Amino acid sequence: MGIIDVNHLSKQYFIAKRQEGMWGAVRSLFHREYITKTAVEDVSFSIEAGEMVGYIGPNGAGKSTTIKMLTGILVPSAGDVTVGGLVPYRERQKNARQIGVVFGQRSQLWWDLPTIESFELLKQVYAISDQQYRKNMDTFTEILRLDEFYQTPVRQLSLGQRMRADIAASLLHDPAILFLDEPTIGLDVVAKERMRTFIQEMNQERGITVILTTHDMADIERLCKRMILIDQGRVMYDGGLSKIRDRFGKSRILIVDLEKDTQLQVQGAELIRSEGNRKWLRFNREEITAAQLIQQVSIQADIQDLSLEEPEIDSIIRQMYEEGLSVG
Amino acid sequence: MSFSSWVRGTRLYFHMVAASIRAQMQYRYGFFMNILGWAMSYAGTAVTMWVMLYSFQSLEGWSFWQLIFLFALAVLSWGVCVIFFFHFRSLDQYILNGTFDRFLVRPIHPFFHFMAMKFDVGAFGQLLFSIAAVTLAYIQLGLDWPFWKWGVFTSAVIGGTLIQGGILVLISAIAFWTTRSERFYWVVMFPAKSMMNYPLSLYPRAIQWVVTFILPFAFVNYLPALLLLDKPHPSFSSYWGAFSFAVGLVFFSICYQIWMMGLNRYKSAGS
Ligand SMILES: Nc1ncnc2c1ncn2[C@@H]1O[C@H](COP(=O)(O)OP(=O)(O)O)[C@@H](O)[C@H]1O
Ligand SMILES: [Mg+2]
C-alpha cells in the first residue's frame, strides 16, 4: 500500500444546459437538462512515500480533476482514493494537515494584502508553532528570495514571484505530500528553473512526496523518474520516463530561416511545415545528427537563423496514438 | 467541540476578520465610499418612508413613530447580519473564479472559513443609523421597558440576524446546484426586506403565513415589535414575538444543513 492509492477512480461532470435570463435560472432550479462529461475514467495507480511523480497529459486530459479528487476538493463519481490512509473528501480537515496544494493558475494567498501577511495568516490557520514557522520561513526566504517582495500586495506580484510565494505557503505546515497543478505554467525560463530546483530540493531533502501535473516536457525530464500519462481521462502509460523517451522522444525539429524561399531536398528528415523562408524539419536524432542536417541544408541555401525543438508532450501523445502504444 | 478549539476558532476568526478589514482599507476611497453608500441608501429609504408615513400618520393602527420603530428594528438586525453574512450572496463568484477550492484544502471548517473571509465594514454606517433610529423612536414613543422587554429586544436583534443570515446562507447554497446565487438575492431578499418595512397585517393571509412559518421574516421585526409596543396580533398571541431567538437558531441551523448538503455536490470550476 502506497501513501497514495487510487483505484478505478472516475469523475463525471454534469453540465447543465444554460437557460437564459432570470426565469431560466429559476426554472433551472426545478428542471434541468444535463450533458455528461467524463473527465476521469477508471484511473488506478499507487504512489510510494518519497516519490516524485509527473502526472502528464494535454489540456483537458483530466489532470486537475484528478488532483482535486486527491486533495478532497471534489467527491469522486466512482472508485476509491486514499491519501496517507485517509479518504480525502470525507476527512477534509485532517487531510489538509498532511497535504500542500498549489494551483498554478490561481493563488491561494490573500490578494489585497502584503505577501508576508498571508504567511502570518496561514500560521494561524494551521496553528504552526513559532519555532516551526521561523525555521521554514528562513529556509524558504533564502532559497526563494521571498524578502524581495514581502511588503508587496499579492495582486501586484509578477507571476514568478507569486508562484514562489504560493509554493512556500503550501509548505509552511510541513506537509508529507505536495500537489502541484501546473507549477511552471506561464513562467519564464529562469523562473521555471528556480521552481524546479526548489521542488527537487524539497523532495530530496525533506522527503516530501510530490505529484505534479504539467504539460511541459522539460519539467518532467528534470524532475520525475516516474510519469503517469493520461489522455481523455484514461491512463495511457505509467512508468519510467526513459522508456517513453527512448521510444518517442528521439525526434527533434530543426527550424531554419533561409535567405530566400528554397525547395529543400534533405535526406533523413521530413519537411513538416513551411512558411515563406521558414522551414520545419523533423528528424530522428539516432539516424542523423543535427549537425549533419544543418550541413545538408546549408549546401542548398543560406541559413540566416536556426533553432532546435524538443518534441512537446502533445506531439508525443499524438505519436503514441499513431503507433498504437498503450502501455497500461 | 472542546473549549480550547472554540478559543482557537474565535481567535482565528478575529485574525481573518482583521485581515479582511485591512484588505478593504487598501482601497481607501472605496472603503469610505462603501460606508457612505450604505448610510446614504438607508437615509434614502428613511426619507421615503418618512414622507409616506407622514402623509397618512397612521397605518393599520400603527402610529408614525411605531412605524419608524418597526422599520428601525428590521434595519438594526439587517445591519448586524450584513457585517457577517453579506458576502454569502456572491458565493457564485467565489466558485467561478476558483477561490472556493481553497476553503476545502485547509484544516478549518469550510463554512467557517468562508464566513471569516469577509467582514463588511461598510455596514457599520448603517448600523449606527439604525441604532439612532431605534433610540429616537424609543424616546418619541415615551417607552420605558422593563427588564424582560430588553430581553425580547435583544432576542429580536440576534434572532433577526440569524434569520436573515440564514436566508443569505440559503441563497448562497443555491450556487452549489445552479452555479448562481447573487441574482437570487435580488429576487428573494430585496423584495422581502422592503415588505418588512410595513406591518404584515397589510398583506394577504397567504403571505403572512409564509413569512411566519416558512421564511420566518415575521420574527425579525413584526412579531417582536407587537410585543414590545403592546399591540395585539390579529390572530396569534403577541407573545410569539418572544421567540425570535429560538426561531432564528432553528432556521439558521436548517439553512446551514442545506448549505452543507450543497457542499457535497460542489463541482469546482473548470480551469
Ligand atoms: N467544474 C467543471 N465543470 C464541468 N466540466 C469541467 C469542470 N472542470 C473540468 N471540466 C472538464 O473536464 C475535462 C478535464 O478537465 P481538467 O481536469 O481541468 O483537465 P486538465 O487539468 O488536464 O487540463 C475538460 O473537458 C474540462 O472541460
Ligand atoms: Mg488543469
Subunit contact B108:A108, Cβ cutoff 8 A: no
Mean pLDDT, range B180-184, rounded to an integer = 87
Residue B91's SS3 state is helix
pLDDT 10s digits, B209-264: 999 999 999 999 999 999 999 998 877 778 888 999 999 999 999 999 999 999 98
Place of cell 440569524: B162
Mean pLDDT, range B144-149, rounded to an integer = 95
CATH of A4-8+42-245, one of 1.10.8.100, 3.30.390.10, 3.40.50.300, 3.30.70.20: 3.40.50.300
β-pair partners for A231: A234
- Residue predicted with more confidence, B46 or A194: A194
pLDDT 10s digits, A59-68: 899 999 999 9
For ligand 1, the distance from its centroid to the CA atom of residue A65, given in whole angstroms, is: 6
Which residues 6+ apart lie within 8 Å of B130 measured at CB?
B42, B72, B75, B76, B78, B79
Interface of B with A (CB under 8 A): 8, 11-12, 15-16, 19, 22-24, 26-27, 97-99, 101-102, 104-110, 174, 177-180, 183-184, 187, 264, 266-268, 270-271
DSSP assignment letter at B197: T
Q: What percent of chain A has pLDDT over 70?
A: 90
> For residue A230, which atom of ligand 1 is closest to its CA?
22
Q: Is pLDDT above 80 for B62? A: yes
Q: Pick from A95, A92, A84, A91: which is nearest to A4 by CA?
A: A84
To the nearest whole angstrom, how far is the Cα of B208 from the nearest Cα of chain A? Answer: 23
Which residues 6+ apart lie within 8 Å of B197 measured at CB?
B45, B49, B70, B71, B74
Beta strands A209-214; A226-231: pairing state? unpaired
pLDDT 10s digits, A132-141: 999 999 999 9
C-alpha span between B34 and B20 (Å, rounded) = 14
Total number of domains in chain B? 1
Site residues for ligand 1, CB cut-off 6 Å: A 13, 15, 37, 39, 57, 59-65; B 267-271
Subunit contact A93:B271, Cβ cutoff 8 A: no
pLDDT reported for residue A327: 45
Q: What percent of chain B has pLDDT over 70?
A: 99
Amino acid type, B106: R
pLDDT reported for residue A324: 56
Q: Is pLDDT above 90 for B98? A: no
pLDDT reported for residue B243: 96
pLDDT 10s digits, A238-259: 988 777 767 666 778 889 999 8
pTM confidence score: 0.85
Subunit contact B98:A103, Cβ cutoff 8 A: yes
pLDDT 10s digits, A6-55: 999 999 998 877 667 767 767 766 777 788 999 999 999 999 999 999 99
Q: Do domains A4-8+42-245 and A250-310 have the same CATH topology?
A: no
For ligand 2, the distance from its centroid to the CA atom of residue B106, given in whole angstroms, is: 20
Tell me which chain B residue has its CA closest to the CA of residue A154. B23
pLDDT reported for residue B270: 67
CATH of A250-310, one of 3.30.70, 3.30.428, 3.40.1440, 2.30.29: 3.30.70
B133 lies in a domain? yes
Quickly count: other Cβ atoms within 10 Å of residue B53's Cβ: 21
C-alpha span between B101 and B83 (Å, rounded) = 23
β-pair partners for A180: A102, A212
Quickly count: other Cβ atoms within 10 Å of residue A242's Cβ: 11
Sheet holding A4-16, edge to edge: A34-47, A4-16, A78-83
Between chain A and chain B, the number of residue pairs with CB atoms below 8 A apart is 87
Beta strands A177-181; A99-103: pairing state? parallel
Quickly count: other Cβ atoms within 10 Å of residue A275's Cβ: 8
pLDDT reported for residue B186: 86
Mean pLDDT, range A144-162, rounded to an integer = 94
Subunit contact A74:B11, Cβ cutoff 8 A: no
Q: Which residues of A touch B266 (CB under 8 A)?
A: 73-75
Nearest ligand to residue A103 Cα? 2
Cβ A326 vs Cβ A232: under 8 Å: no
Amino acid type, A179: F
Give the angle B141-B147-B153 at the CA atoms, nearest 5°.
60
C-alpha span between A76 and B8 (Å, rounded) = 32
> What is the rounded average pLDDT for all residues in chain B?
88
Q: Pick from B259, B242, B263, B68: which is nearest to B158 by CA?
A: B242
Sign of the CA dihedral A109, A114, A116, A119? negative
pLDDT 10s digits, B16-45: 999 998 888 877 777 788 778 777 777 777
Amino acid type, A116: I
Cβ A174 vs Cβ A132: under 8 Å: yes
The domains of chain A are located at: 4-8+42-245, 250-310
Cβ A185 vs Cβ A104: under 8 Å: yes
C-alpha span between B219 and A175 (Å, rounded) = 48
- What confidence category does residue B110 fall into, taking pLDDT thresholds of 50, 70 and 90? very high
Burial of B128 (0-12, 13-18, 19+ CB in 10 A): middle
Mean pLDDT, range A85-111, rounded to an integer = 94
**Structural domain boundaries enclosing B260:** 3-264
All cell numbers assigned to B108: 478549518
Best probe of the B interface among A93, A126, A156, by most B CBs < 10 A, is A93
Q: Is pLDDT above 60 for A325? A: no
- Residue predicted with more confidence, B71 or A98: A98
pLDDT reported for residue B28: 76
The alpha carbon of residue A249 and the mean position of all alpha carbons in its chain are separated, in whole angstroms, by: 18
pLDDT reported for residue A323: 65
pLDDT reported for residue A19: 67
B239 lies in a domain? yes
Nearest ligand to residue A63 Cα? 1
Amino acid type, A159: L
pLDDT reported for residue A307: 87
Tell me which chain A residue has its CA closest to the CA of residue B117. A110
Subunit contact B267:A74, Cβ cutoff 8 A: yes
B270 lies in a domain? no
pLDDT 10s digits, A104-119: 888 999 999 999 999 9
pLDDT reported for residue A328: 39
Subunit contact B98:A112, Cβ cutoff 8 A: no
